[in-house]
Structure formats: C-alpha cells, structure tokens
Structure 1
Amino acid sequence: MPVLTRDEAQTRARLLDVHRYEIDLDLTRGDEHFGSTTVIRFTAREAGATFLEVRPAALHRATLDGHALDIATLDDNRLPLTLTPGDHELRVEADMRYSHTGEGMHRFTDPADGETYLYTQCFLDDVQRVFAAFDQPDLKAVFDATVTAPPQWTVLGNALATRVGAPADGRWRLATTAPLSTYFVAFAAGPWHTVRTEHAGLPFALHCRRSLAPHLDADAEELFDITRRCYDRYHQIFDEPYPFDSYDQAFVPEFNAGAMENPGLVTFRDEFVFRSAVTDTERQTRGMVIAHEMAHMWFGDLVTLQWWDDIWLNESFAEYMGYQVLSEASRFTGTWTDFAVARKSWGYDADQRPSTHPVAPAPDAVRDTASALLNFDGISYAKGASALRQLVAWLGEKDFLAGINDHFARHRFGNATLADFIDSLARATDRDVHAWADSWLRTSGVDTLTPRITEDGPEGAPGEAGADGTRGWRLDLHHDGTRPHHLAIGLYDHAPDDPRALVRRDRVETDLPAGGGTRTLTFTGPRPALLLVNDGDLTYAKVRLDAGSWDTALRTLSGLPDPVARAVVWNAARDMVRDGELAPAAYLDAARAHIPHETDIAIAQAVLGFARTQIADRYTPATARPTVLTTLTDLGHDLLRRTDGTGRADAQGLRLIAVRTLIDSATTPGTLQDWLTAGTVPGGPALDPELRWRTLARLAVLGATTPDAIDAELARDPSATGQEGAARCHAALPDATAKATAWQAMYPAEPSGPAEPAELSNYLFTATAQGFWQPEQLDLVRPYRERYFPAAVTVAARRGPALAIAAGFHGFPHPLVEAETLRLGEDCLRDADPTPALRRKLADQLDDLRRALRIRETPADIRPQA
C-alpha cells in the first residue's frame, strides 16, 4: 500500500480546505464486509490534481459534483481527483473488510457467549479501511454519521448517538462533531453492557462486552471516581473547558494499544476490566491511562499535530499529565515511583539502541506515515514525559501551565507544531525555552551522571571543618552528555536507632550546564553513607553510585525512606547491569536482601520482573539459570512468609507478586500441582483464572501437564482470555508435535482460506508465540530459529504493521542468546527487505541480543569502583 509522504500531505493541504464528512455505515452485511458511503464537502483553492484514500473490498461508485468518476483508476488505496477551483462534493460508495488485527473496523466474536462486537481504530492512516477520506491530520473537518446495525446492538461514536426510525430498523444517528482530524473518528457497535452517570452536566458512560459485565460493575465506581476527579483537576489547570459533548469509555476486545484518545469515545483494551486479582499498582496504571487519555482531549484532540513528526507533543504531554494529575486528584499518590522504576526504563532502553531518535525529530526525518509509526516508542512516551517533568522543575509549574493555556487558546480546534508550542512557553517566561528545546528535544541518547567523593584529596581537605572538628568532603559530579540538568542530590546517613535504615541529612538542588564536564560541590561535615544523584527523579539521565554508596545500598536499600529514592537506586542498578558495570548476580543479591522488606508494590513488581525476564532468561547462561531461578524462588517464599497473616495494607499485592514469581520460576512441578489441585496458595491468594492459566503454562513448560488437561481448563474458562491461555499452554508443551502445530498456526504456508479471519488474531498470535519460545526447551526450538526470519518477513508483508510488531517482538527467538541468532537476524535485515514495522522491531531485538551476549561475559565480581 502506498504510504502518505509529508510532501504529499503539504501539497494537498495547500490545495484543499475540507469542511464536512457525511458517513453512512451498514454493519448488517455479514461477517466479512460492511457497507461504507462517504460524502465529503470541500473547497479547492485552485485548479489541481490530488487523490482520496480508500481501501475497499469493492469500490462500487464514486462521483464528483454529481459526475461519475472512473473507479478503475483506483490505484491500491488512492483514487485520483482532478479539481477546478471552488466548492466540491465527493461521494464514494464501497464495501469494506472487517479486520482481525485491530486496524480499521475490528470484528470480534466473544467465545464466552457468541456475541459479536465491532470497533474502529483509525489511528495514523487506518481510517481509509473504514471510509473514504483525505487522510492526514491537518485537514480537519466536522463529521456527521449514521449507522445501521442489528436491532439489539448499541452504537457509539465521537458524539451523542440516538436511535432513529423504528427500533427494528437498527438505525443510529450521531450528533455533528467539532472539527476533528480523520484519525480521531471512532465507532463501536455491539450488545454492549453499559453503566451510565452524569458529571458537570455531561453524560459519562462505561461500556464493555456482556461477558465482562460483572467485573465492570464491580469497578464502575472506582472508574467513574477517577474519571470525575481527573476531569475536575483538568478544569482547574486548563482555561479551555472540555471541548466535546459526552465522555464515553469503551473497553474493547483485542485492542493493540493501551487506549486511544478518540474524542468523546476513548477506547481501552478490555484487560483493564479486571476479572482476576491485581495489585494496587496495576489499578494505579489503569487510572494513569484514564488520566492520560483525558489529557489528550485537550492536547491532541482540541489542538492537533500538523504532521507526524510532532507526535511527541500528543504522547509526551499526555504521559506527563497522566502521572501528575492522577497523583494530585486521586488516592494514587505514588505514580512517580512507578514511573521512575518501571516506565522510564522503556525510554532509557529505546534511547540506547541504534534506532533511537530525538523526542522531536526533524520534520524531514518523518518522511511518511510508515516512518511515523516507528516513533510510537519509549522515547515519544517515557523520555518525552521525563523531559517535560524536567522542564517543569526548571521552569516552574505556574509558567509551564501559563504556556500550555496560551497554546490551547491560540490553536483550539486547529493544528500546531513544536515551534508553536515552544513559542507559547516562551511568552510565559523569561527563560530561554528555545535553547532548552534544542538541547532536550532535538537530541538523542542518554546522559550519564557519575559521582566521585573525595574526603582528603591531594590538595588537602576540600571543605571547611565542621562544628564537630571533622574535615569536609568534595563531590565531583561528572556529566557525560550534552543536556542541561536541574536536579537534586540526596545526602543520606544511617539512622541512629536502626542500622538498616537511612535518614536524609540534606537535599541539594543544582544545575548542570549543557555540554557535559565535571561540576564540583564542597560540603562540611562527614561524607554521607549514601549519596544519591537525581534524588526525586527530576531529570532524565542514567546515574551511578560511588562504591561507598553502593555498599550502603546493599545493606540498607529497603530502609531508604522515600520510595522514589529507592526507585532511583534500583534503576541505577538496572542500568549498571545492562552496561556491564554490575554483575547480574549482584543485582539478584540486592533483590534477595531487600525485596522481602519492600513496601512499595511498584518497586517489588519492577525489580522481580527485571530479575525474572531479563536476568534469568537472557543475561544468565543456561548452565547457571537454575541457580538464578532458585534464588527467585527463595525470595518469593520469603516474601510470602513476611506477609502471611499480617495486617499490612500492601500485603495482598505483595503476596500476589510473590506468587506470580514463584509460578514463573518453578523448576519442579510439585508445588504448582498442589496449588492447582487445591485452587489456592496456602494463606492465599486463591487461584483465580489468571493464576490458574499462569500455573498451567509453567507446568506445560516443565512437561508436567497434557493437552487434555489444557482443554479441560479451557472448558472451565471458555472466555477469550481462556482461549489465549490455552494457545499459550499448548505451544509451551515440550513436544515436537505441539511445536509444529503452534508454528503452523502462527505462520501458515498459505492463508487457510480466502477470508482473513481464518488466520490468528493478533492476541492469539501473541499468546502462541509467548508459549513457543522457552529457555527450558532450547534444543527443541533451535531448529525453528532459521525458519523464523523468513516466516516473520512473509507474515508481516501479508498482514500489516500490527501483526508485524507482534511477530517482531513476541515472535522473536528470545531464549536463543547465541551468535547464530544474531547472524541470521543481521542477514535478514540486510537481504530480506522486511516491512518498516518489522525492520524496526528486529533491529531493536538484535541490539538487545548483542547486549545480552556482552552481559553474559560480565565478570562475576564486577561492582561500582571507588
């Protein structure tokens, strides 16, 4: 499919002024196709040639100002147009295909009850899979829509929807929208279960498929409470009121992203309707996503990027505001701890790969929509949000919000660029925001901050004597990088009444200039037991610990009073492991010593996750892996013992994390089989569906279950999640036939029928791939490694970007941390011409593989040096 280039978009924007779309969809034409009729009213500023985008199953007719166009001129997804100056009306009638990859109009039949649900994901350039459009973000228009659906269904959209005609007709009309970019247009249809309320004069609603109704009802008040609180907080800090007529939140099946900010109809992956036990951190994450998507109503929907080089303006802003507003408005006050220990690592990792890019890439670096899709990564989200948090720390929140409100006022219902945003901030402050933006937004890579402490150096004592007669000490803070940083340095001492605890003596804020170098600070009194650079996590940089501080951390990390400070230390340890400066075993020793005493669920979750998935599965040679798994098992049992029967508020979440770790790390089946038979872990938690499938998957890996037992569990839980669990378990069996069957399902030699639904959905593909590649089964899966790369190239080319991303990430042979995997992957990138989405994923996976190979060579005793 031809992709839209930036030059083409600019040319078309100069030619056209698009006013209105009238869309009519018929969702009653069977399981494969739906009807789509579009009328577009627009003005051509001058005579010229352009094109319309549409990707039909069948294009029936097209007229321009009542005159028939030759539909045979449709070239893939482009219908050419020759225009005279003035007003025009374009009408297009087509049949469109339902999708099973989460792109365009996705169709899903719930295996739990046979009900069918539809929803759209028009993001970036997929609106043309739903209706004909001039598909670029800076050609905003108003939208009117009518939809015909089965009579028992409910239809949702960007504006209030009402039934028209007789109920048996199944006809719905949506109110006229405010001006929107095409990629924001959204529909959802099906027999939704709905919970409604009203707030601030607006209708609010939650929607999910009927089989999830009890679980949505159980959480509806929490979801509405967060929604109301965030809505009110945004109205306190933004001058512009909420710009749409309603606020629907639909939890939809098989959704590829976390959520999508469609104006008035936010769509979420329906895993956020929790049907099993979750930690409070996972509830907090759901709340953050609600706050994130609501921020988009202003930054993204009200004011929209002009071209895709500025996607960070949408995502970084919503990411920052999501964490900040949730912490201010709800009971979830620890959002920045989770951001520090879990979310920022996504940005750090992406920023150290060859595929890194600036937060705000140069416009010519995003030459088309295919390259734009590659920038939806940890840089546009986590690094960009970190940059904004640093900007607020440097600029002050008052001036930051003044600049934001200026930006909204100047560009409401229009489009804006990075330059417009920076100009708005500059009008609100005397600081040089343009220079800040050049340093932070136009550069790539991660700065590193390394402290060196001198108590009695060759030039004599660096500081004045303290009141107790001690000499001073000097901090030389080396800045390897280019960006300016406003940061805090925490000085921590041992608590006088508890050697396992620390107290903060002082917190010193300082500025590091752009350009790198060393900044020297002098202090009186004794050196601290622990010196923490970037205390409070205000900036985005890798930090190191000096040898003395690392020794203190090993003894007292769980006694550091501030969870954000603990998160910074854990992140530093993680980065040192990845950079070959700390042995993975040393990280495990710290986890073994301190996670059983950790009170913050986000920290425990992140540390155990890194230890289990990266250290155990990737950074540790196969011969040493059983020892690592034993360490994690011992840690999990210790955490269970320390939370058994306690009244600690965090006990339930910590026990759940411990049980997940124990299941995933088990090397023998006995305990897991006992739990599965009893239906509970002694002392809790009970094995709900998620834990049952998790347990069965590990038993499958260990060869301790059968296909019949998996099928019996599926009969017990015939939900969509159950289907995914069964696919994962079957693929995980250490059996040649099971592997061959799973491989054929993921990579059929030919589509098994003329219609796409015969192939796996993205979710079932992902579940199968997750089960297939297991470190315990290297000899069994190694023969598939050479087949993987050509198979992934083929399936990505046939099924599109969303499946390509799944094949390049979940499908990659992660356990085969071997030079041959690297060689085959490099050959693929060089010779096989993978699609852009797959190429990016493979390039990232191969870079991670190179890192894992280097880490496996890390000396076992390496640690921070004095």
Structure 2
Amino acid sequence: MSVLTRDEAQTRAQLLDVHHYRVDLDLTTGDETFHSQSVIRFTARAAGDTFVDLKPEILHSATLDGEPLDTAALDGNRLPLSLTEGEHELSVTTTMRYSRTGEGMHRFTDPTDGESYVYTQLFMEDVQRVFAAFDQPDLKAVFELGVTAPEGWTVLSNGITEQQPDGSWQAAPTPLLSTYFVCVAAGPWHSVRTEHAGLPFGIHCRRSLAPHLDADAEEILAVTKACYDRYHEKFDEPYPFDSYDQAFVPEFNAGAMENPGLVTFRDEFVFRSAVTVTERQTRAMVIAHEMAHMWFGDLVTLRWWDDIWLNESFAEYMGFQTVNEACADLFPDTWVDFGVTRKAWGYEADQRPSTHPVAPDPEAVPDTASALLNFDGISYAKGASALRQLVAWLGEKDFLAGINIHFKRHKFGNATLADFIDNLAAATDRDVHGWAEQWLRTTGVDTLTPRLDGEGTRWQLTVDRAGSRPHRIEAGVYDRHPDGELTLRERLALDVPQAAPAELPGPRPALVTLNDGDLTYAKLRFDEVSEETALRGLSAVPDPLTRAVIWNALRDMVRDGDLAPVEYLETARAHLPEETELSLVQGVLAFARTQIADRYVSADERPAALATIGEIARALLRRTEDGDAPGLRLTAVRTFVDSATTPEKIASWLEEGTVYGGPELDPELRWRILARLAVLGATDETAIAAELERDPSATGQEGAALCRSALPDPAAKEAAWSALFDTDDLSNYLFTATARGFWQPEQTELVREYVPRFYAAATALGARRGPAMAEAAGRYAFPSYAIDADSLALGESHLTADTMIPALRRKLVDQLDDLRRALTVRGS
C-alpha cells in the first residue's frame, strides 16, 4: 500500500475543493466484512489527474459523474481519477474487512455475553479501511452518515443520530471535518445520558461493563461538565458541535481519540477493579485532554502531519491544567503526577537517537509513515512542558489571548506552526518567534546545575547551563532545622542564562532546588551539599511538587550513570514509607521495579533489589493497616506481588481471596498474583483455566494469555511464540498480553534461543499486519531482559534490513538504545 507524501497532499489540495460526503455503511453482512458506499461531491479547480484513497476487500464499482470507472485500475490503495475543471460527483461501492488490530473498523465480540461491537479509529490514513476518501487533513468537508446495523444495536457518530422508520440510523450532517475525525461506534451499548449547557451529553460502554460505568458515571459526567465549563471560560469560540458523547470501547490502541462529538476511550477507563485516586485522576486528565482537542485539532486542524505536536502538546498541557483548575476538589494537584510520570517519558524520548524537534521541519515528515513515528514523548510530554514554560514566560493572559486569536482566524479550517506563532505574537510584545526557534526547533535536554559561592551569611547562586535554551525558573532555597525538617526560605524567580548571580543573604542553604515549581523542561543536578540533603532528607521537603522535581533528578542521575541504582533504592527505602503523595509513591516504585530491578542491576544483584522493593511495600502495608489510605495500600499490595521472589505469601492471599487487613482480591489483583506465580513456576494450566472460568471476561482472557506465556516451561514458551508470530489470530490486546508474559528476567536462560528469532519474526509480522501490530511487537515482544553486548550487536545488525516497516524500525531503535543505556549503567 502506498503512503501519502506531503508533496502529493499539497498537489491534491491545490487541485481539489471537497464539499460533501455521503457515507452509507451496512454492518449486517457478517462477522468478517461490511458494505460501504461513499458519494463525494467536490470541485476541480483545473483539469488534472489525481486519486481517491481506499483499501477495500472488494471494489464493486466506482463512477465519476455517472460514468463507470475501471475497478481494475485500483493500484494498491489508490483509484486514479482524470478530472475536468468544475463540479464532480464520485461514487464508490466496496466490501470492507473488519479489523482486529484497532485500525479502521474494529470488531470485538465480548466473551462475557457474546455481544459484538464495532467502532472506527481512522487516524492518519485508516479512513481508507472504511470508505473511499480524499484522505488528508486539509481537505475538510461536511459528512452525512447512514448506518444499517443489527437489531438491538445503537449507532453513535459525530452528530446526533436517529433511528429511521426502516430501522437504519442517520447521523446529523457535521460541520467541516477532516477525514480522520469521522467516527462510528455501533453495538448494544449501555448508555448514561444527560444534558448540559443545552446539549445532549452521553457516556457509553459495552453491556457487560454496565454496573462499573454506572458506579463511576457521576464522577465521569461531573469531570466532563466541569471541564466543558472551564474551557468556555478560557475560549471565546463556543463548543462547535451538536452533542458530546464519550464511548469506552474495547481493544482500543490509544488512550483515547478526539473524534468531534464522539470521543472514543479505551474501556479500561471503566474500572472493574479497585484503582487509586491517581488512576482516576489520569482518566479525568484524558477526558480534559480530548475535550481540548474539540477546539485545538477539530475546530482548527493541522495542515500536514509535521504539526501534530500542536494538537497533542496543547491538549496535554490543557488537560493537566484544566483538571487542576476545574476538579481541584477531586484531584488536588495534577502537575505532581505530570512531573513524575509524563515528563519522565519526554526526557527519555528526547535522549534517544530517534529524538526530533517538538516542531519538526516539514521536510523531516515527508509522508504519513514518517509522521506516525512522531506520536511519542516529544509530541506529548516535552511539547506540553514547553507550553508550560511558554505560559510562565509569556503570562497566561497573553497566552490565552493568542490562542483565541488563533481559533477566530482559523475556525473550521487548517493552520500551521507559523500561523500559531503569528497569532501568539499578536497578543504580546515578547519575541515569540525567537522563543519558538529555541524551544520548538531544537532537540535534546538542557541540564541546569546550581553553583554556590560565598561564605558566612553572604552567598551567590549561579545556574550553570549545559544547553542552549532560555529558561524562566524558580529556585527553591531551603534551610534544615535541628529536628531535620526542611523549610522554604525563599523561592527565587530566575531567568537562565542569568545577567548576574542571584544574591542569597543568610547562611549557606541546606538545599537549593532548581526548577522548584517544575515550570521548565530540563534535567537538574545539585551542588554537593544539596545532593547530600536531597538523598538524606527528601521526605522532609514540604512541597510534593518539589519532591517530584527531586525524584526526577535522581532518576535522571541513575540513567546517566551519576547515581548508583542501589543508592536510588536506598533513598526510596528511606523516604517512600513516609511519602504522602500517592503519585510519587507509584512513580518511584514503578521506576525501581521495572527499570532498576529488571534492567539496571546485574542478575546477581537483582534478588537484593527485589528484596529492597519488597521491604518498602511491607512498610507501606504496615502504615496503611488502619484503612485511611486505600490507594497507598493498593499500590503497596501490587508492588509486593510484583516483587515476590518466593510464592508462599502471595499464594496464600490468592487461596484466601484477601490480603490480611484488606483489600479483598478483585479480578485485577487475582490475575496479577497468578501471573507472578506463573513466573515463579508456582502455578499451572489447571489453575489458570480455573481462574478463567471464574473470570471469563475479555480482561480475563488477556490475564490467562499472559499467565500461560509466563510459565517457565519450554512447551508453554513455544506455544506462546507460535501464537504471536506464526499465525495472525490474536487481536491487538491478546497479542500484547501474550508478549508481556513471554520474556521474564527470571527466565533468561529458558528463552535465550528466542532472542535471535525475534527480529525476523517481528519484521515478517510488521509486513503482514501493519504498523499497529509492528509497534506492539517492538514494544512488548522485544527481548528486553537479554542485557548483554551480544544482544545489542545482534539487534543493531538487524536494523539494516530493508524489509522492516518504519513503525517497527523506530521502536527497535528506541529499544536498543535503552539496552545500550542499561549496559552502561551496569558498567558492562
């Protein structure tokens, strides 16, 4: 299949003005395929040749202005068109294939009750899997959709849908939309509906999840309404669509998708087991993120995919900021979680060979395949961090004024980075263009280090910068009291580079923390005294956001080889049992467990690392016995399970169905324990089958797949490998679950023979099943725990393969860089 190049898109946009699509889908033709017809009305500005995009199972017919076209002329995913100047109508009738990979029209049958659901995910170039279209973001049009669905189904779409007398469903015509925003979700949905600000609002999920959605509906709708109201306080343009539906759909590849009027979310956000407040906060942030897209992305859309960061960085920033403002009663400070989780994602992505500017040069995104690679920690976390720094430098009032100019000038149209910067510049006297060049067109992470000079009660602070970007930061100056507590003496506002050192009257501070409010994007180091204070007194730092900044600095120091992994674990053992901010506990333990214990310490050191993590979990369990901190206790239980080196304790929990002192084991905890027992060789197929009978849900199917592939048995490994790579039977989620179970640090020798087999198998899979499954293979099926020079050399040799699709190559470049870093940290 041909990918669309930027030059081709520009040429087609110059030729065509697309007005209207009429799309009719028949979902009653079987479980494998569906019927699709699209009628497109458009104008050719001049005579010329172009093409329409489609990926049919069968192309039945195509007519241009009533004249039949040769269906045999379909070349891959392109049907050529020879046009005269003027108005045209193109009609295309096809049979399309349902997807099991989360691309195009995905079909899912719920194992709990046998009900089926379909939904579209048309991002980038997957509209072609559903109907014929001129598939590029700057050819916007009005869409009218009609859907014939099985009896008992409800059809959702971008506009209000109504069932017709003949049983079919008709969606209201949309405003001007890009093709990739068209959405259909159909099935026997369970729905909760309400009205807000004069518009219908709805949330939807599959029927088997109905009790869980009902339990959370009040919170989901409260967050939705609060964010909607807050955006109307920020933005001059009103919400531009006729309704606001949110559908929680199965086997969704992303967190969510901003389809106008019908946002689709992965249905893991309908929590069927206990979760922490941080996880609920994440759901709220995603709701706010996708709603921000209704303006930035949907109302005003990028012209070409080099500007995808504009969509994602803006929505990421606004998601965290708006939840922070509108839902403070539920979630006190979202920026702490951003600092310790999302921001770390950006720092890691920006130090890999695959890094790119937040706003890449258009020439660096020549086609859709290369554009797909930029959905990463740069476009989301680094971009959001850059915007947060922009707001600190520009001021929120001028930032929002520029944003509102942008919406007004480009509503229902397309815009570029240049447009965005021009519109911000129109609202301020500051040099926004210069700021953009320094922040958005460069790669890498600056490093800021404090230097203190002086004596007695006269000290000066100089910020040494390794890098080139300007930073507006706050430096926290802390004093230690005799009882060990740290108090904030002052918080200095600094511009880096400095015009002159900052004066610090008083004795030498015990701790100086740069970027104390986490307003900029930079790695941080400490002066010698401050580093000792941070390591020994971290839990005494009063502000959780400052503690997040310090923990991030320590994480970076480990990754850069400046702090021994064991010392990080000892710092965690000293301070996490006293930590009150749940997101910090979760973030630090996740890094300790998945990176330090599994990758950064040697095989000989690993048991001691796991023991330290287990000791932290036990301390947290003791602290939470009174039931006052259920989220912290749940985190401790999960960590204890994942770090268990012997099976007896967690096996007793599974047998008894509860942890002493709580909680009782829900499905998530039961599968988590069984998975760890499988890794340790303390369970078998009989127990897995019994658990699956107890929980036959889709999540149960995934849990069983993970447990089976995690068994330390040669036959189990071969069966899992065959399921992953020798057939195409696994859906995206079952593939991921099987892959996650396959490689285990405890089983390195057992699976060593599969390491060289991975590369050819993954390359062939990517060629057969496309970028979504290739990315899943590179992310989850990569032999992450084969940490040695031979594995690195083997992987590097395979990067030269011409048959590897870009999505897989990019993922392997990242994985091999992580492997290289792990070897460096180990001192190998």
**Partner letter of residue 308 of structure 2?**
I
Contact persistence 1:476–1:518 (CA under 8 A): no
Q: Determine the structure 1 residue equivalent to 2:297.
A: 300
Aligned residue in 1 for 2:42: 42
Q: Which amino acid is 1:127 matched to?
A: V
Q: How many Å separate the matches in 1 of 2:776 and 2:763?
A: 12
Q: Give the structure 1 partner of residue 740 of structure 2.
A: 770
Which residue of the other structure, out of 475, 490, 493, is the alignment partner of 2:476?
490
Q: How do 1:567-716 residues align onto structure 2 when only pairs under 5 Å count?
A: 567-645=548-626, 647=628, 651-716=629-694
Tell me what 1:808 maps to: 778
Structure 1 residue 715 displacement after superposition: 0.3
Query: 1:446 is paired with a residue of what secondary structure?
Result: coil
CA contact (8 A) 1:479 1:518 kept: no
Per-residue deviation, residues 329-384 of structure 1 (Å, max 9, x unmatched): 01212100000011101100000001000000011110000000000000000000
Corresponding position: 1:818 with 2:791:
no
SS at match of 1:503: strand
Matched-pair contact (CA < 8 Å) for 2:457–2:508:
no
Per-residue CA deviations over 1:139-197 (Å, capped at 9, x if unaligned) read 0000001000001100000000000014xx3x000000000000000000000000000
Instruction: Show the 5 A alignment for 1:55-134.
Output: 55-134=55-134
2:391 corresponds to which letter in structure 1? Answer: V
- Aligned-pair CA distance for 1:519: 6.0
Distance 1:828 1:352 in 2: 22
* Whole-Å separation in 2 of the counterparts to 1:552 and 1:544: 13
Secondary structure of the structure 1 residue equivalent to 2:751: helix
Query: In the aligned structure 2, how far is the partner of 1:620 from the partner of 1:258?
Result: 32
Would you say the 8 A contact 1:154–1:192 is kept in 2?
Answer: yes
Q: Which residue matches 1:407?
A: 406
- The alignment partner of 2:301 has SS state of strand
Shift in Å at residue 72 of structure 1? 0.4
Aligned residues of 2:463 and 2:496 also touching (Cα < 8 A): no
Contact 1:512 1:519 in 2 (8 A): no
TM-score, reference length from structure 2: 0.99
Tell me, in whole angstroms, the C-alpha distance in 2 between the residues paired with 1:737 and 1:561: 53
CA distance in 1, matches of 2:332, 2:648: 40
1:832: how far off? 5.0
Distance 1:519 1:18 in 2: 58
The answer as to whether partners of 1:22 and 1:40 remain within 8 angstroms in 2 is: yes
Gaps of 5+ in 2: none
Cα pair 2:421 2:432 within 8 Å, conserved: yes
Equivalent pair of 2:53/2:78 in contact (CA under 8 Å): yes
Tell me how far apart the structure 2 counterparts of residues 550 and 197 of structure 1 sit (CA, whole Å): 53
Q: How far did residue 88 of structure 1 move?
A: 0.2
- Look up the match of 1:551: 532
1:480 aligns with 2:466: yes
Counterparts in 2 of 1:389-408, with a 5 A limit?
A: 389-408=388-407
What is the CA–CA distance in structure 1 between the aligned matches of 2:548 and 2:508, rounded to whole Å?
Answer: 22
- Is the aligned partner of 1:339 residue 2:338? yes
**How do 1:738-817 residues align onto structure 2 when only pairs under 5 Å count?**
738-748=716-726, 751=727, 759-817=729-787
Unaligned runs of 5+ in 1: 457-469, 752-757, 859-866
C-alpha distance 519-309 of structure 1, shift in aligned 2 (>3 A) = farther
1:507 matches 2:491: yes
| Residue 736 (str. 1) matches residue 717 (str. 2) | no
Matches within 5 A, 1:7-22: 7-22=7-22
* Deviation of the 1:451 alpha carbon: 1.4
Matching of residue 845 in structure 1 with residue 809 in structure 2: no
Measured in 1, the distance between the counterparts of 2:802 and 2:306 equals 28
Distance in 2, Cα, partners of 1:545 & 1:283: 34
Distance in 2 between residues matched to 1:712 and 1:679, nearest whole Å? 14
- Corresponding residue for residue 319 of structure 1: 316
In 1: Cα distance, 2:823 partner to 2:802 partner: 24
CA distance in 2, matches of 1:832, 1:404: 43
TM superposition shift of 1:527: 1.3
**AA matched with 1:201:** G
Measured in 2, the distance between the counterparts of 1:742 and 1:123 equals: 30
SS of 1:7 mapped into structure 2: helix
Deviation at 1:521, TM superposition (A): 2.5
User: AA paired with 1:251?
Assistant: F
Query: How is 1:137-536 mapped onto 2 (pairs within 5 angstroms)?
Result: 137-166=137-166, 169=167, 171-330=168-327, 331=329, 332-456=331-455, 470-495=456-481, 498-499=483-484, 501-513=485-497, 520-536=501-517
Kept in 2, the 8 Å contact 1:57–1:95? The answer is: yes
Task: Specify the code of the residue in structure 2 equivalent to 1:492.
Answer: Y
How far 1:585 sits from its partner (Å)? 0.6
Deviation at 1:738, TM superposition (A): 0.3
1:29 paired to 2:29: yes
Separation in structure 2 between the aligned mates of residue 596 and residue 801 of structure 1, nearest angstrom: 42
Q: Which amino acid aligns with 1:443?
A: T
Contact 2:145 2:171 in 1 (8 A): yes
Give the drift of 1:69.
0.3
1:677 Cα shift? 0.8
> Could you say what secondary structure the match of 1:830 adopts?
coil
Runs of 4+ in 1 over 6 A off after TM superposition: none
- Cα offset for 1:472? 1.0
Q: What is the SS of the residue equivalent to 2:804? A: coil
**Percentage of pairs with the same residue:** 69
Moved more, 638-647 or 7-16: 638-647
Question: SS at the partner of 2:251?
Answer: coil
CA contact (8 A) 1:102 1:254 kept: yes
1:792 partner amino acid: A
Cα separation, 2, equivalents of 1:471 and 1:629: 45
In the aligned structure 2, how far is the partner of 1:711 from the partner of 1:563? Answer: 44
Q: What is the deviation of 1:646? A: 5.1
- Once the two structures are TM-superposed, the CA of residue 552 in structure 1 deviates from its matched residue by 1.1
Moved more, 848-857 or 677-686: 677-686
Task: Report the Cα offset of residue 545 of structure 1.
Answer: 1.4
**Secondary structure of 1:831's aligned partner:** coil
Partner of 1:467: none
Q: Which amino acid aligns with 1:199?
A: H
Q: Deviations over 1:639-684 (max 9, x none)?
A: 110111153xxx1111111111100000000001110011111111
Which amino acid letter does the alignment assign opposite residue 286 of structure 1? R
What is the DSSP-based 3-state SS (H/G/I as helix, E as strand, rest coil) of the residue aligned with 1:780? coil
- What's the offset of the Cα at 1:796? 0.7
User: Post-superposition shift, 1:476?
Assistant: 2.5
Output the CA distance in 2 between the equivalents of 1:519 and 1:845: 42
* 1:561 matches 2:542: yes
Q: CA deviation at 1:522?
A: 2.9
**What residue number does 1:461 align with?**
none
Counterpart amino acid of 2:474? A
Q: Deviations over 1:559-602 (max 9, x none)?
A: 21111000000000000000000000110011001111111110
CA distance in 2, matches of 1:698, 1:732: 8
Q: State the alpha-carbon separation in 1 of the partners of residues 564 and 772 from structure 2.
A: 36
Instruction: Give 1:555 deviation, angstroms.
Output: 2.4
Per the alignment, in what secondary structure is the counterpart of residue 508 of structure 1? strand
Q: What do residues 410-454 of structure 1 show as CA deviations (whole Å, max 9, x unaligned)?
A: 000000000000000000000000000000000010000011223
CA distance in 2, matches of 1:527, 1:486: 23
In 1, are the aligned partners of 2:599 and 2:822 still within 8 Å (CA)?
A: yes
Q: Work out the CA distance in 2 between the residues paired with 1:714 and 1:455.
A: 67
